Structure 1
Amino acid sequence: MRRSPDEVSELRAPSCRVASSVEKENLNTSGALLHRLNHVTKMFPELNSLLECNKKNLPNGKSLVIIDSQTDGSFLLHHFISLYIQGGGKVVMLAFAQSFSHYSSVAQKLGINLNSACDDKTFVFLPGLKYTLDGIINRDVENPLLDTSNCKSLHSLYQAINSAISANENQSLPTLLIIDDISTLLYLGFQHTEICTFLTYCQHTVCKKTNGCILSLIHNDSDVEDQSSNLLSRWFHHFADIVLELEGLQSGRSKDVHGQLKVVFTRREQNDLHSLSPLSRCVHYRIRDKGVSFFALGTSPAIL
């Protein structure tokens, strides 16, 4: 079902959609983390190990996606913001779900001043709804990113991203493009095919031209029948180099285990004999007062 821009605005917090009862519990847990973090310089060191990256080895040239179901995966975005800024890179945030003050508040608790980063042009905040509505009003019939059937264009979004990346004075500076969250475009009525085209353009600009990284967040709740969301989620498994799938526990919320994370490497090195089979790693996670801990399945302290 398509929503008007006004309806989308009402659903913006925390993730531009109505949450299920199970998801609300997980959102409360995730939100508690964002308000209680206390100057953690390394947010999720275990996650860096899972992704085989760190601030000295950024995932440049790669496309990543966070797909959450029955939980809120947005807390992972703050890890990547911290990773790139501490690693001497640049972050371009295309935000639909939260305001700049939200990201700034969380970053400050991680020891990062996003206001200073904005002054240094190492953090660029782009309000997604503004550029989307501009594209709907100011249509360009000659642009290939145009939705001619509904007179809606994603061209303004792409132009804003391209300008933010091109304004990089130091072209060797690694750039991370974050889209939080791509589901909003579905709620606005864009077809998944149009969103795929838009993301392909962004990938070419960020990953191919600047050797940067693109990170998208999409919601695909298993208890909601949404064909467009399902199609887009499946497409991401072909588009992205690394897929981070977060799920709430099927047994319900637990005080010791808050969810499950599955990291899928869709592309392997050419000299890898198992390159045709994606590598996946699955762990449980628990959100704590000062961070998030990841551990192997079945190894929760409560079980051991």
Structure 2
Amino acid sequence: QGKFTLLRDTRTDGSFLVHHFLSFYLRAGCKVCFLALLQSFSHYNIVAQKLGVSLTAARERGQLVFLEGLKSCLDLLFGEEKEEEQSGQPSPLQFMSEGASNLKALFDFVQTSLNPTSDGSWQGPVLLVDDLSVLLSLGAAPVAVLDFIHYCRVTVCSQLKGNIVVLVHSNEDSEDEENELVVNSLCHHSDLILWAEGLATGFCKDVHGEIKIIKRASLELMAEQDHVQIYQYKIQDKNVTF
């Protein structure tokens, strides 16, 4: 409870980690707010069904709040504002049309989605983001993205005792300084880092990459060292082997 987990991928696609956490938390009965900025709902649903979870059913029973970023972007850019008029709420990605790097509408969406219900039917709240780097591509400033994550941590982790899982893409030799600034800052503030990397030697039939599990040292215990474990993995149709 109250943990911030960073999923990081380099020279590979770390989305298999997102699918794992999504199905894991839904099975555990948690209330999940999923900011899906990279793929469509049907994509995530097809993968989840292979893992034995129905996102459609979870959304219908109110357990899953799903923001389909691709659709929201199109609606904003091409003037489809019917949804906004019906709900009376601004689009979570409102910053795109305003030209200002203000992610307050996105934070309000998260806060509203994960506010505890009176019946208390769900376990702890979870915020899942795939993938945070997309916000930078849409025009948000690094400071705005880090502020957004900070406010989410205060609300979800500290106040509601929930968990946050965020995926970011990174390349150590990248010239994208804004993205690397965000990645390095998130690494510094995370409790757990799962870092998936492609093989430096290239393609291998039996191994798709390696994953580095970094359990961050507690900020209170300054002498404690980060605990690092490294595993090689292979992605199969319905699971991942190590």
User: What TM-score results when the alignment is normalised by the length of structure 2?
Assistant: 0.85
| Distance in 2, Cα, partners of 1:171 & 1:86 | 14
- Check conservation: 1:67, 1:217, Cα contact below 8 A: yes
Cα distance 1:172–1:268, how it changes in 2: closer, same or farther (>3 A)?
farther
Matches within 5 A, 1:118-137: 118-128=59-69, 130=72, 131-137=91-97
Alpha-carbon contact 1:175-1:213 (below 8 Å) kept:
yes
Hey, what does 2:232 align to over in structure 1? 284
Distance 1:171 1:197 in 2: 30
Tell me, in whole angstroms, the C-alpha distance in 2 between the residues paired with 1:259 and 1:68.
10
Cross-structure match for 2:162: 212
Q: Residue 126 of structure 1 contacts residue 160 of structure 1 at CA under 8 Å; is this kept in 2?
A: no
Please give the alpha-carbon distance, in whole angstroms, between the structure 2 residues aligned to 1:125 and 1:117: 10
1:89/1:132 CA distance change after superposition, 3 Å: closer
Choose from 3, 21, 24 the match for 1:83. Answer: 24
Instruction: Report if aligned partners of 2:31, 2:126 keep a CA contact under 8 Å in 1.
Output: yes
Count residues with an aligned counterpart.
222
Gaps of 5+ in 1: 1-59, 140-149, 295-304
Alignment of 1:1-304 (within 5 A): 60-128=1-69, 130=72, 131-137=91-97, 150-166=99-115, 168-169=117-118, 170=120, 173-268=123-218, 276-294=224-242
Q: CA deviation at 1:215?
A: 0.7
Q: Is this contact kept in 1: 2:2–2:158, CA < 8 A?
A: yes
Cα offset for 1:275?
Answer: 5.1
C-alpha separation in 2, matches of 1:269 and 1:293: 32
User: Which one is further off, 125-134 or 205-214?
Assistant: 125-134
8 A contact 2:136–2:179 mirrored in 1:
yes
Secondary structure of 2:123's counterpart equals: coil
The one-letter amino acid of 1:134's match is: Q
- Separation in structure 2 between the aligned mates of residue 207 and residue 133 of structure 1, nearest angstrom: 23
Which aligned segments of 4 or more residues in structure 1 are displaced greater than 4 angstroms? none
